[in-house]
Structure formats: structure tokens, C-alpha cells
Structure 1
């Protein structure tokens, strides 16, 4: 009997990571996905869904200017109160650790609907960093009936917290599936106006971004000044797709906006951003997606954080925590540019996050959960250097 799964998400990163699962469920006779968008990110979310050919079945449209986290959570729960009883799904699927994730899981639980948590088990060990994501995912972990963990380390976190091991499946991360899919569709070089100059850029390209709440306040100006220092280095172009949040844009743009070697862009559509990652030589970011996508592409990734819930890439050597001080950021970028051995060591490290087939394991795990098939074969981390061939990452060290 076909199972109805309400897939609840609201941000661009969530959309990227659940899109392969939604597309696969649509082609699988065992499942009927009902796509529920909360609209937590409005414009960026809509653009991303369009790329993947996904139209929400339900749009809660909760977006409002400068609303608080409490308001976001309340409005998602309020929107699901009437929806879930009418829809009566066999499961509610949520992803990751956003306010939408927490609200969707609470709503499913309170309606006695099993909750499936994609990207389960990530832990930084500090409830204040990242805020509020660390607390959100811990709370969802106590509610979920099926935990789909990207890595063995994530599964171990859940087991340490007392989660029944039989409810945990290691799948790999679906972001690698999305990245693999994008490689087949990414526009040809020269096709995107914002990236035309980069196609002809002979020097180093450093892709940079910062938007996390823990970076607001004092860290953001430090990061912006560090990017100016990096752009002052010889043969370096810094590219910054600048987040639309005024708390980020109003601080960073006055510092980096006029630098001749910094290209500031509005947030790029997903396929363009994937092509920009491939063209880059170094990624400097506090984005969780960058911590996963950079290693998959063989791009040395400098993480603008003090702690991370994604330690696998740090241990593997393809990512490095560099904090958010001006001196520390500039030092680590300069080291990679000046030391070919250090650069190659990061670029050629093992990708620990997936092989591009996490979606298949997710569907197999769901089928087994519903008694419709055998248990999914788990993802084994460390067997693949990269899920995708990097483009140009070793151009400066050959």
C-alpha cells in the first residue's frame, strides 16, 4: 500500500537536500510525497525549487520582515495544525535543524504521526553554537521515529543519547546527490553573466560567505576586513555571494563593496552557485553546505567557526576550522596559496560525506520502516576521495 509522506521544509539549504528525495519518491510506487513549503526563506527557496522542478503542494507562506525565531516556529506550527489532520500522512519528513524542522517535528509528534529526520545526529556539543540549530536538532532527535544519519559519527552521537540503534540508518548526505545531479545540468562556461569574468580569471579564486547568527556583531566586520586583506594578495579574486539578511548585508557591504578585487554578488541560483564552487580554488565560509560540498569537489575549505557539527572533513584534512578573527583567516588563506604541499593535502583528502547515492538509501530505509522491503545497506564513509571530479582545484600547484 502506497505511503503518504509530508515533506516539510522552508529554507534553501533544506530544499537542496530534500529535493533529490522528493524527486525519487515521485518515481517510486511505494511513496506519495506531499511537498509542504513553509516559505521560511522566500525568494531563495522558490528559485531553488524551480531548478529542481518541484512545485509545493502546500505553501504556508510564513515569511515576514525581521520576524523572530519564536514567530517563525509559531507560524509553522499554526499552519500545520489544520493541514496534518486533513492530510493524514503516514509520516512527516523534516530535514536538519532549522526552525521549520523543529516546528514540523513537533507538529507531527503531537498529531501522533511518525517523524522521519533526514540529516540526523549532527552535534557540535555546544547548545549556543550554532544557535539555534544545535538545540533544534537535539530536540528533533528525541521526537523522530526514523533517524537518517549522514555519517557513522552522526549515528554514534544518536546512540550515545539513548536513541534505539534499530531506528538509525547511515545514508550519506543527500547534498552530495544534489551536487552530482547539478554537475549534469550546470550551464556551460561563459553561460552565466555574473561569472563571465571568472572564466577568464588567471589567478586564484576565493569563494567566501558568512551569515550565521554567531557571526553577527563583532565577528562580521572582522571577516569582512579579512576578505579585503585576502583580496590584496597577488593574483587573488575574492567572490562573495552576499546573504540578503540586513544583519549581514548592512555590515559587510560597506567594507567589501568597493574593493577592486572583491566581486560581490546577490545570492546565486543553485546551478550557478555550483559552477562557482567548481571554479573556485579555496572556499572560506561559515555555511554548513560549504563544509560538505567543498570536500566533495576537492576544494580546500576554511570554516569560519570555532566548533562544528561536521568534524569528519576536519579529521579527513579537507576542511579546517579557522575561527573568525582577521589575522587567523588571512594566515590560513595565505598558507594555502603559498604552500603547494599544504594545498594539495587538503584538495586530495577523502570526502567523508557521501558517494552521491544517499537518496537510494533514504528510500530503502523508509521502505523498511514501513515494512515494505529489506533494511538499507549503510553508507560506509571514507571510501571515496570525491563524489565529483574537481575542476581546476590543482591548477596552481601542478
Structure 2
């Protein structure tokens, strides 16, 4: 929808306009259930604003859920400076919020787009709802800059949509009033289960081969800024070692879209017969591959949660994690980025008796610590209460 038509549209439908700010693929995944729940309501008019932080992959991911952006912004990328990125995002989002006359702003997680969206809402005196609020690692520089972003967003948020009780406790400990916190579950559970059940085949021949093969799979990702350079090279070295030790297992390496990160990941893995260097994977294929994986090796926060939906063990290549529920439940283990530690952790997983029940897609874990698949509905209802509406 063109911004000039928003005022007339509001007069016609009488709904409250909710701006949903989406910058990265994980934000698209985690905000899709919220956008869908709002669109099904009788009172909300969700407006999807993409910032351009992750480029074309965001509209592509939204399309997996039958969604498309209403406003597509672009952001000029320079030298990977977080300050430059955030400043550009803030300026463009300020204009978009004013053009749409948004009555509330929804942001998710801890990206530069989320911080800029919350700031733009605050400066425009528009109430802010923060999806996935309250995650804390306890170290302001790890993950960087995400941990600092979370705390900054918390300071200007009107309603905190905490995915778990542990996240709620973190917010309470920081002085957030209990009535401003809603425990919703994590929207990624809604999204990944829905995407894994969709039968759409990938247009990428390599991904089609992976999905259709009967080989056991291990899914590998690496992208966090604090792991750039040598840590990612060590993770890749561990995968190369493991691929030689386990020639019957296919290692699916979803390298990051950043060219320098991707080069560091793929340098030691090219040409290995049982390694598939897929590059970024469309979300539907990703969900189906994750669902039938033996385990995943990742530094992604989102994948720690998504894997829990299918009971897939996670080896977290970080020194700490804000997703403590996975560690507590035993679904995830911190292994760091030392090559020998990663190899030893994978061997331990493979050695567990009856650890992996075949290659079939697993059922949703009934005691998933991250939620029950209805988080999107709860987030939408909390937005309604924020605006004085009492939806069922």
C-alpha cells in the first residue's frame, strides 16, 4: 500500500494501525505469526515495514507465510558500522511511521532495525510493543551489539512480550512493572512448525537433493559478529574433521549472506563430498531440513529455539547464551568455538544410545520450553490491550 493511501484506508475500515518493523530474516519469521494474528482480528490493521537490513531475503521469507511488505525501505550499507546502520534506519523509519500515522509500533528481538524502530516510535510518541523481550546474557558485549540493543529497547518499551517466565524475571529484576509484561511463548515456534508442514519444494536443486535424500543430516550455521574471523574458521575446521569421521552423514552448511563471513565458512569445506554448501536457505526448506536433522551446530539464537520445536539437539558455538531454557532442559549445550571441543561434543551426541529415532520428521515436543505455538495470538491480544481494546 502506498503511504499516501493510509489516511483514507483508516477512515474506511476503522481499525487501529499497527506498524510492524522487520529488518532481518529472523524478524520476518518471528513477526509473521503476530502479523497474521493481527490481520485476523476485528480491530487491527497491521502495516508491514521492511527496513532493507537483510535485503531481498526478508520479502522472500514473508511470502512463506502469505505476507508481503506494505512499505519497503532501503538502507545504505557502508563499512559494517553499527552506528552508521542504526542512524540510517532511524531516519527512514521516522518518516515511515509519520507517513502511515501508526498508532502502535511492534519490534522484535535485538537487531539494529528493532532498536531503530523502537526509537522512532518513542520519538513520535507512539506506544512500542517489544516481541521477545527480556532475553539477557548478562554480558553487555556478548552477543555484540545485541545484548546492549535489548536493554536499550527495554527502556522505551510500553509493553514487553516476554517469550518465557525466565525472560519475565529478567525484566522484573531490572525494575519493569509487572503489569507491562506479558508471557506469550516464542512466536518462532508458531512459525517453524507451520513452515515445516508446508509441502512446497525448493527451487534450488542442491536443496531439493538434500530434502529428498535419505541421508542423516547435521545442520550448521555461523554468523554472529563476535565469531567473525578466526572463531568461524575454527567451527568450519571442526565440520571438515567431522565430515571425514562420519562419511555417511550429510553436513548442510547454511553460510551467511555477508560475503566475508561466507568466505571464512566455506574456505575449508569446499570439495568435501558429504558437505553441502547451500548459502542462505529459504525458510520453508530450512524448517523441513531442521525438522529431520540429527543435530544442529550453530551460534544462532533463533535456531536454539526452532530446534526445540522438533527435539533436535543444539550445540551452541558461543561462550554464553541468553536462551537459558534450552540449556536447562538439556536440548542445548554450550560448546564454544574451539575445534576440538566441537568435535568432542558431536561425538558425544552420536554416541548416546538411541539418541536419534531415525530420519523422520519428529513430532512437536509437548514440553517445549519456548512455547505451545500460540504466541502470535497472545502478542496480538497484548497489543490490543495496549491500545485500550480488550480482545478475546
Determine helix, strand or coil for the equivalent of 1:281. Answer: strand
Report what 1:46 is aligned to: 59
- Matches of 2:59 and 2:42, distance apart in 1: 27
Would you say 1:207 and 2:219 are equivalent positions?
Answer: yes
Report what 1:366 is aligned to: 383
Would you say 1:306 and 2:319 are equivalent positions?
Answer: yes
Query: Judging changes above 3 Å, is the alpha-carbon distance between structure 1 residues 278 and 343 closer, same or farther for their aligned structure 2 residues?
Result: closer
The C-alpha deviation readout for 1:144-203, integer Å capped at 9, x for no partner, is: 000000000000000000001100000000111111221331336x98632344356555
Query: Judging changes above 3 Å, is the alpha-carbon distance between structure 1 residues 60 and 202 closer, same or farther for their aligned structure 2 residues?
Result: closer
Q: Which consecutive aligned stretches of 4+ in structure 1 deviate over 3 angstroms post-superposition?
A: 195-204, 341-344, 347-350
TM-score scaled by length of structure 2: 0.90
Would you say 1:157 and 2:174 are equivalent positions?
Answer: no
Of residues 246, 249, 261, the one that matches 2:274 is: 261
- Matches of 1:200 and 1:88, distance apart in 2: 47
Of residues 337, 343, 348, the one that matches 1:330 is: 343
Determine helix, strand or coil for the equivalent of 1:18. Answer: helix
Query: Judging changes above 3 Å, is the alpha-carbon distance between structure 1 residues 200 and 362 closer, same or farther for their aligned structure 2 residues?
Result: closer
TM-superposed deviation, 1:371: 2.2
Report what 2:129 is aligned to: 116
After superposition, the CA RMSD in angstroms is: 2.0
Report what 1:77 is aligned to: 90
Determine helix, strand or coil for the equivalent of 2:197. Answer: helix
The C-alpha deviation readout for 1:187-226, integer Å capped at 9, x for no partner, is: 36x9863234435655531110101011112211110100
TM-superposed deviation, 1:369: 2.0
Would you say 1:293 and 2:306 are equivalent positions?
Answer: yes
Query: Judging changes above 3 Å, is the alpha-carbon distance between structure 1 residues 82 and 203 closer, same or farther for their aligned structure 2 residues?
Result: closer
Deviates more, 1:364-373 or 1:155-164: 364-373
- Matches of 1:133 and 1:49, distance apart in 2: 23
2:218/2:293 contact within 8 Å kept: yes
TM-score scaled by length of structure 1: 0.89
TM-superposed deviation, 1:70: 1.2
Report what 2:31 is aligned to: 18
- Matches of 1:149 and 1:306, distance apart in 2: 23
Please give the residue correspondences for 1:1-398 in structure 2 after superposition, counting only pairs within 5 Å.
2-64=15-77, 66-187=79-200, 193-198=205-210, 201=213, 203-234=215-246, 235-340=248-353, 350-373=367-390
Report what 1:384 is aligned to: none
| Structure 1: gaps of 5 or more residues | 377-398
Report what 1:394 is aligned to: none
| Structure 2: gaps of 5 or more residues | 1-13
- Matches of 1:241 and 1:25, distance apart in 2: 32
